[in-house]
Amino acid sequence: MCGIVAGVARQNIVPALLEGLRRLEYRGYDSCGVAVLQRGEARRVRTLARVCALAEDARAEALDGPTGIAHTRWATHGMPVIDNAHPIFSGEQIAVVHNGIIENHEQLRQALRNKGYTFSSQTDTEVIAHLIHEHYRGDILAAVQNAARLLQGAYAIAVMCRDEPERVIGARQGSPLVIGMGAQGAFLASDTFALSGCAERFVYLEEGDLVDIEGRRVQVIDREGQPVERREIAMQRAAWDAELGAYRHFMQKEIFEQPVAVARTVATLLGRGEQQAAMPEPAELADIEHVLLLGCGTSHYAALTACGWFEHFAGVTARAEIASEYRYRDHVRRGGTLVVPVSQSGETADTLAALRYAQAAGEDRTLTICNVAGSAMVRQSRWSFITEAGVEVGVASTKAFTTQLVALFALAIQIGRQRGHISDAEAATQMRKLDALPDAMRDVLAREPEVMAWAEALRKSEHVLYLGRGTHYPIALEGALKLKEISYIHAEGYPAGELKHGPLALVTRAMPVIVTAPNDALLHKLKSNMEEVRARGGQLYVLADLDTELMGAQGMRVIHLPRWYGVLSPLLHVLVMQMLAYHVACLRGTDIDKPRNLAKSVTVE
């Protein structure tokens, strides 16, 4: 969480910093700020409003200088108030922006107080600023190096010093930081997307690295203090720019981009896309017996959906683990395991730590499914597959989810084929289903007006129950997550068969129950579950495939999806769930792309 952008530009850096912050706002938006070195002074503006307001303030204050640092905050230590907004200063000399958590900040704060430092914020970042100040003897690089040795926890920082006007130092330990270079200068940011307007070449810092940007010179230094060369990569052009176009919100835009995102992902999987997948050699998959999927939130639900595919098509056992749970418990290792972290950002702290935990336990076959090339998880894994969702700006994940499902489905087929669990012909038949998926998705998205009518009926609800069975149970979970995170309505997903084991007690006339009802082998069981709800006055909202013959009736509304799409049906039903959450949130007037208390990339534990 939190976004950093900084650098030394050939001209005034403020427009590049503000544009970078606008692109990083998804990482947190409790406050934002920018500071530059201007005529021998460190000057800053900070606001609790959004980046567009910061831009106004920067203009009003005539902020202008080639060297600067900027930040968008997701609060960890200290409330979202101006004093806690970054950049944080130590005196008038040192300015710092920080992403991460300093675990020993209390001890350091006390030691600094004993030396006469006073604190004007509640942040752990101010500890870093004062520590650097304390070590400063005319060389800001040396001061950051010495201070960094005392920090415990995770951080990415960018630092500038009033007395060294064309210099910015960056350091990373556990939080992402990338260098971007181009004709406009040298920059630092939390991700490449932030710099896509001003840099063409990128270098990811590794754990413990520092970078010294001085004028046009960029030098990376490793944790031993030695100058080091890190691999430079050319910018992977963003598949979609962060412009809204005709849409009201990025979430809406991203929902409607899904047919294209899925088509691109399928093309890559079939070797027809622009990217090469770093997938395992077929022989590496032949002796897989078990798949361990690691993820959080929506990515965990993608993993949960895919478990059924791995068991059915590959004949292997599969377990989807919540990364934050997995990383903290003992577990029994099994031979022939493929570890599959699933993540949109590739930076989620818990998933990254779970991957490392598995590796430390001896798992060496790791394959990350991720939407961001070059992200920490991709670099940490032996193999990777980059989904082609393009930049996802809305905090609520949509197109990342469906493209993850496509990749996981293809992986299940591939493993099944290599293990001889399914024939080549069967594998080819299943893969062909992916080709027609984008059109089927367009058909579902065309149901938006019907979904809007449901949203109108649900807008005043306080609680909503979501039900599904089989591979649609995770879709019920995902539907509930989407609704709660952007509309703030309490929602819960349940496997429909569990209803009478407890949640049925909640069902009254005031309880809307949303059911994902594909025309699969479990439909008649699901129909019984729906009757249990109707008999208690519950209001049913059913997503049914046209061929189910489920019709609207008293206490039951139905949206018909075009037809049953077989094993890939979860990818269609979830589109309705996404649109429903979106339209309910629109009617309730929430901040859809930036829901309260959340941030897109959860880089703290």
Active site residues: 2, 600
- Interface residue with ligand F6R among 170, 176, 297, 570 (CB under 6 A) is 297
Binding status of residue 321 toward ligand F6R by CB under 6 A: no
Residues 469, 556: Cα–Cα separation, whole Å = 19
Binding status of residue 99 toward ligand F6R by CB under 6 A: no
Terminal C-alpha separation, the chain: 10
CB of 194 to ligand F6R, least distance (A): 16
Q: Tell me whether residue 173 or residue 375 sits nearer to ligand F6R (CB atom).
A: 375
Please give the residue whose beta carbon sits closest to ligand F6R in the complex. Answer: 297
Binding status of residue 487 toward ligand F6R by CB under 6 A: no
Report CA torsion sign: 104, 109, 114, 117.
positive
Binding status of residue 351 toward ligand F6R by CB under 6 A: yes
Beta-carbon contacts of 27 under 8 Å, excluding residues fewer than 6 positions away, are 1, 2, 3, 72, 74, 99, 190, 599, 600, 601, 603
Binding status of residue 32 toward ligand F6R by CB under 6 A: no
Task: Tell me which DSSP letter residue 279 carries.
Answer: P
- Interface residue with ligand F6R among 184, 192, 345, 539 (CB under 6 A) is 345
- Interface residue with ligand F6R among 298, 414, 430, 578 (CB under 6 A) is 298
Q: Tell me whether residue 477 or residue 567 sits nearer to ligand F6R (CB atom).
A: 477
Of the ranges 256-264, 343-351, 488-496, 566-574, which one interacts with ligand F6R (CB under 6 A)? 343-351
Q: Which two tokens stand for residue 363?
A: 């798992």
Closest of 247, 271, 571, 294 to residue 440, by C-alpha: 571
Q: What is the largest CA-CA distance in the chain?
A: 78
CB atoms near residue 219 (< 10 Å): 13
Residues 284, 365: Cα–Cα separation, whole Å = 8
Q: State the burial class of residue 80 (Cβ atoms within 10 Å of its Cβ: 0-12, 13-18, 19+).
A: middle
Binding status of residue 396 toward ligand F6R by CB under 6 A: yes
Paired with 101 in beta bridges are 154
Binding status of residue 485 toward ligand F6R by CB under 6 A: yes
Q: State the burial class of residue 115 (Cβ atoms within 10 Å of its Cβ: 0-12, 13-18, 19+).
A: exposed
Q: Tell me whether residue 318 or residue 393 sits nearer to ligand F6R (CB atom).
A: 393
Q: Which two tokens stand for residue 256?
A: 């409607």
CB of 399 to ligand F6R, least distance (A): 11
Residues 18, 289: Cα–Cα separation, whole Å = 50
Of the ranges 117-125, 156-164, 340-348, 494-502, which one interacts with ligand F6R (CB under 6 A)? 340-348
Q: From the centroid of its chain, how far is CA 97?
A: 21
Query: Strand ranges (DSSP E) for 75-230?
Result: 88-90, 94-102, 153-161, 167-173, 178-182, 185-189, 201-204, 210-214, 217-221, 227-228
Of the ranges 204-212, 224-232, 282-290, 297-305, which one interacts with ligand F6R (CB under 6 A)? 297-305
Task: Tell me which DSSP letter residue 277 carries.
Answer: P
Of the ranges 204-212, 341-349, 449-457, 530-538, which one interacts with ligand F6R (CB under 6 A)? 341-349
CB of 192 to ligand F6R, least distance (A): 15
Order the strands of the 512-517 sheet from edge to edge: 490-495, 463-468, 512-517, 539-545, 556-561
Q: Tell me whether residue 448 or residue 485 sits nearer to ligand F6R (CB atom).
A: 485
Contact positions with ligand F6R (CB under 6 A) in 532-551: none
Binding status of residue 368 toward ligand F6R by CB under 6 A: no
CB of 278 to ligand F6R, least distance (A): 19
- Interface residue with ligand F6R among 123, 173, 344, 403 (CB under 6 A) is 344
CB of 319 to ligand F6R, least distance (A): 18
Q: Tell me whether residue 396 or residue 504 sits nearer to ligand F6R (CB atom).
A: 396
Q: Tell me whether residue 346 or residue 470 sits nearer to ligand F6R (CB atom).
A: 346
87, amino acid identity: P
The answer to whether 287 touches 314, Cβ cutoff 8 Å, is: no
- Interface residue with ligand F6R among 299, 305, 381, 578 (CB under 6 A) is 299
Binding status of residue 603 toward ligand F6R by CB under 6 A: no
Closest of 124, 77, 129, 134 to residue 104, by C-alpha: 124
Q: Pattern of binders to ligand F6R over 513-532, x per CB under 6 A? A: --------------------
- Interface residue with ligand F6R among 38, 84, 196, 397 (CB under 6 A) is 397
CB hemisphere CA count around 88 (13 angstroms): 29
CB of 298 to ligand F6R, least distance (A): 3
Q: Tell me whether residue 147 or residue 296 sits nearer to ligand F6R (CB atom).
A: 296
Q: Tell me whether residue 150 or residue 239 sits nearer to ligand F6R (CB atom).
A: 239
Q: State the burial class of residue 530 (Cβ atoms within 10 Å of its Cβ: 0-12, 13-18, 19+).
A: buried
Q: Tell me whether residue 486 or residue 533 sits nearer to ligand F6R (CB atom).
A: 486
Q: Tell me whether residue 265 or residue 397 sits nearer to ligand F6R (CB atom).
A: 397
DSSP H helices in 257-295: 258-269, 282-285
Residues 307, 22: Cα–Cα separation, whole Å = 37
Interface with ligand F6R: number of residues (CB under 6 A) = 15
CB of 504 to ligand F6R, least distance (A): 28
Query: Strand ranges (DSSP E) for 522-565?
Result: 539-545, 556-561
Closest of 580, 575, 599 to residue 261, by C-alpha: 575
Count the residues in the chain: 605
Of the ranges 153-161, 296-304, 405-413, 565-573, which one interacts with ligand F6R (CB under 6 A)? 296-304
Helix (H, G, I), strand (E, B) or coil at 604: coil
Binding status of residue 296 toward ligand F6R by CB under 6 A: yes
CB atoms near residue 524 (< 10 Å): 7
CB hemisphere CA count around 221 (13 angstroms): 16
- Interface residue with ligand F6R among 348, 414, 430, 471 (CB under 6 A) is 348
Binding status of residue 403 toward ligand F6R by CB under 6 A: no
Q: Tell me whether residue 143 or residue 352 sits nearer to ligand F6R (CB atom).
A: 352
- Interface residue with ligand F6R among 399, 602, 603, 604 (CB under 6 A) is 602
Binding status of residue 190 toward ligand F6R by CB under 6 A: no
The residue ranges that bind ligand F6R (CB under 6 A) are: 296-299, 343-345, 348, 351, 396-397, 481, 485, 601-602
